[in-house]
Amino acid sequence: MAAKPSIPKGTRDFSPIEMAKRNYIFNTIRDVYHLYGFQQIETPSMEMLSTLMGKYGDEGDKLLFKIQNSGDYFSGITDEELLSRNAAKLASKFCEKGLRYDLTVPFARYVVMHRDEITFPFKRYQIQPVWRADRPQKGRYREFYQCDADVVGSDSLLNEVELMQIVDTVFSRFNIRVCIKINNRKILSGIAEIIGESDKIVDITVAIDKLDKIGLDNVNAELKDKGISDEAIAKLQPIILLSGTNAEKLATLKNVLSASEVGLKGVEESEFILNTLEAMELKNEIELDLTLARGLNYYTGAIFEVKALDVQIGSITGGGRYDNLTGVFGMAGVSGVGISFGADRIFDVLNQLDLYPKEAVNGTELLFINFGEKEAAFSMGILAKMRAAGIRAEIFPDAAKMKKQMSYANAKNIPFVAIVGENEMNEGKVMLKNMETGEQNLVSAEELIAAVKK
Instruction: Point out the annotated binding site for L-histidine.
Output: 102-104, 132, 146, 150, 294, 298-299
What is the DSSP-derived secondary structure letter of residue 327? Answer: G
CA distance 255 to 275: 19
CA distance 152 to 110: 12
Q: Helix (H, G, I), strand (E, B), or coil: what is residue 240?
A: helix
Q: Helix (H, G, I), strand (E, B), or coil: what is residue 113?
A: helix
- Helix axis angle for 261-280 and 185-194, nearest 10°, is 150
Q: Dihedrals φ, ψ of 134, to 5°?
A: -95, 165
Q: Cα separations (Å) of 371 from 28, 375, 403, 418, 422?
A: 40, 6, 12, 11, 10
β-pairing, 122-131 with 416-419?
unpaired
Nearest of 238, 84, 58, 272 to residue 164 by alpha carbon? 272
Widest pairwise Cα distance in the chain: 92
CA dihedral 288, 291, 294, 295 (to 10 degrees): 170
Annotated binding site: 102-104, 132, 146, 150, 294, 298-299
Nearest of 183, 184, 185, 193 to residue 260 by alpha carbon? 193
Q: Cα separations (Å) of 325 from 42, 303, 339, 349, 412?
A: 19, 15, 15, 32, 48
CA distance 171 to 286: 13
Element containing residue 386 per DSSP (H, E): helix 373-388
Q: Dihedrals φ, ψ of 162, to 5°?
A: -65, -35
Q: Are 349 and 327 in contact (CB under 8 A)?
A: no
Q: What order of strands is seen across the sheet that includes strand 39-40?
A: 39-40, 122-131, 143-152, 336-342, 317-321, 302-308, 178-184, 285-288
Query: 5 preceded by cis ω (within 30°)?
Result: no
Nearest of 273, 253, 250, 245 to residue 190 by alpha carbon? 253
Element containing residue 419 per DSSP (H, E): strand 416-419
